[in-house]
Amino acid sequence: MISGFLNAASALPEQFADFSSLTMNDLYNIAANFAVDIVIKIIEIALIWFIGRWLGRRLISICKAMMERRKTNESVASFTLSLIDVVVMIVLLIIIIGVIGIDTSSFIALFASAGVAIGMALSGTLQNFAGGVMILLFRPYKVGEFIEAQGVSGTVKEIQIFNTVVKTGDNKLILLPNGPVSTGIITNYSREAYRRVDMTFSVSYGDDYETAKELLLRLVKEDTRILNSPAEPAVALSALSASSIDISLRVWCKQEDYWGVLNDMNKKVYETFPKAGLNFPYQTFTLHVNKEEK
């Protein structure tokens, strides 16, 4: 590096010697040509900048209109439009650098290596971003629906760029990363208008099954929230357990009535079964004791 600097310094007198042989008119012509070249470059750069910015704004407007028609989440839309604007700016800068006369291959290599490094550092974050985009495109759930995902159940409050905000029944806000959510199992309880309530009631051995069945059907008939469609209420003896007879009850109701029907039916059964002579069994154990003779 030092030797190169010394060689350039030693060449300066020769350059000044070349200029010393020129007339004043030649110097004016060189300066004028240089100024014209600079003006032309400035005009080219200005045209590229203004035309590029105009095309960028047009692209952003088109993308914004498309996302509005698809009702894309506002957070994702804002992030995407900002990303497009940054990419347009980078492309314009590379073009302007090339117009100036600087080799752009080194800049492109620098941007590529930086992109790879950033992508590796933010692999998890980019996965969550891609998961958010997939959720918004395929819409397995939307704001206001009750879902279960990643072991968490609650109402969707917001779908952000990287996370889904879920509000649980006990009023806790939980942020679920979009990446694992989009690739995992999602249970959406709000998508269908009707839901089946599955209940199991146990009575002791020796109790009359028909009495229990008639009592359950009467309780079902008294509840106006229980529907006969998509299927009529069904009562069946589902299992003979070790210490009880298990009776299953399946009824249909509207989505919003699910918990009310389940809780009220449990309460009614608890109150009416003993009055009808039906006993709730307790778990029993048989203990065998071997006595050894002395």
- Residue % of the chain over a pLDDT of 70: 78
Q: Is residue 217 part of a domain?
A: yes
Pair of tokens at residue 131: 């998961």
Which residue type is seen at 36?
Answer: V
Among residues 121, 150, 165, which one ends one of the domains? 121
Q: Has residue 289 been placed in a domain? A: no
Residue 108 vs residue 130, higher pLDDT: 130
Instruction: Give the pLDDT confidence of 218-273 residue by residue, as tens digits.
Output: 999 999 999 998 999 999 999 998 889 999 999 999 999 999 999 999 999 999 99
Structure confidence by residue, pLDDT tens digits, 182-223: 899 999 999 899 999 999 999 999 999 999 999 999 999 999
Looking at residue 216, its amino acid is L
Q: The CATH number of the domain where 167 resides is what?
A: 2.30.30.60
Q: Which two tokens stand for residue 150?
A: 């990643």
Percent of the chain with pLDDT over 90: 39
Q: Could you list the residue range(s) of the whole structural domain that residue 212 is in?
A: 194-276
CATH number for the domain harbouring residue 57? 1.10.287.1260
Closest by CA to 199, choosing from 259, 251, 134, is 251
- How many angstroms separate the CA atoms of 221 and 258, rounded? 16
| CA dihedral sign, ordered 204, 205, 208, 214 | positive
